[in-house]
Amino acid sequence: MKEGETIENALKREMKEEIGIIPKDFEKVGIIEFQFQGNPEILEVHFFKINEFTGIPRESEEMKPKWFDIG
């Protein structure tokens, strides 16, 4: 996240930069905290369910988009 940026704005920016989509309707579904062995820094990860977006998902170095059936 950038300084002063909200979690929701970071979500929108990162998704546009990394896979080419802009979330329009989304909801937070969870948060986890963890740390890597040997590193005292605690990291926090927020999980969102994207219900609607614009753009076409594309692969990037960071991720390979994949559809999952959640029904």
pLDDT tens, 14-32?
A: 999 988 999 999 999 999 9
Comparing CA positions, the residue from 1, 17, 20 lying closest to residue 9 is 1
pTM of the model: 0.74
Mean pLDDT of 54-65: 83
The band of 60, judged by pLDDT with boundaries at 50, 70 and 90, is confident
Residue 68 has pLDDT above 90, yes or no: no
Question: What are the structural domains, with CATH classification, of the chain?
Answer: 7-55 (3.90.79.10)
Q: What is the pLDDT of residue 32?
A: 97
Place of tokens 């559809």: 67
Q: What is the pLDDT of residue 70?
A: 84
Asked whether the beta carbons of 23 and 12 are under 8 A apart, the reply is yes
Annotate the chain with DSSP letters as a single string.
--TT--HHHHHHHHHHHHHSEEEEEEEEEEEEEE--TT--PPEEEEEEEEEEEEE-----SS---------
